[in-house]
Amino acid sequence: MSPEHKKVPVSRAPVLPPQPHHLDSDCRGVASILARVGDKWSVFVIMLLGEGPRRFNEIKRTIDGISQRMLTLTLRGLERDGLVTRTVFPTIPPRVDYELTDLGRGLSKPVEALGKWAFEHRAEIESARARFDGRNDDR
């Protein structure tokens, strides 16, 4: 027995009630927030800043693989969303620290839990990917 696709006549498809317009705009608003906090670089930055304030170069050295431009864009986006603050100290050369706001600290716990889960299940996921890719090489 092999899986197959069946064409279902439109007249038999279930008819969903019309959705209120505000749900559509709510979903778009939430989607943009999830895109920010679900971005891999944002997750790493939030996890790191959960340990306390950091300087830009310290963040860059700690997060393997992030470019200076990507870190700048990520920090700017997190600052725009109210998750991170940027403090400039009037020294020579200027010192700039980044830290989580109260809103960002509230997000750091779920993000940390997600990161921990990913770390704990990395081998299982890599194994599942290898099995999937092996099956789909024949297609």
Question: Domain segments of the chain: what residues?
Answer: 26-136
Among residues 77, 59, 80, which one has the least CA distance to residue 68? 59
99 vs 37: which has the higher pLDDT: 99
* 3-class state of residue 21 by DSSP: helix
Average pLDDT, the chain: 85
The DSSP secondary-structure symbol of 49 reads H
- Cα R_g (the chain), whole angstroms: 22
Give the residue ranges of DSSP H helices in 6-101: 21-38, 40-49, 56-62, 68-80
Query: Architecture of 26-136 per CATH?
Result: Orthogonal Bundle (1.10)
> Where residue 3 falls among pLDDT bands split at 50, 70, 90?
low
Backbone angles phi, psi at 81, to 5 degrees: -80, 0
Residue 115 binned pLDDT confidence (cut-offs 50, 70, 90): confident
Instruction: Tally DSSP H helices, then E strands, for the chain.
Output: 6, 3
Asked if residues 103 and 83 have their Cβ atoms less than 8 Å apart, the reply is yes
| Cβ atoms < 10 Å from Cβ of 35 | 11
Asked if 79 and 86 touch (Cβ cutoff 8 Å), the reply is yes
pTM of the shown model: 0.71
| Residue 7 confidence (pLDDT) | 60
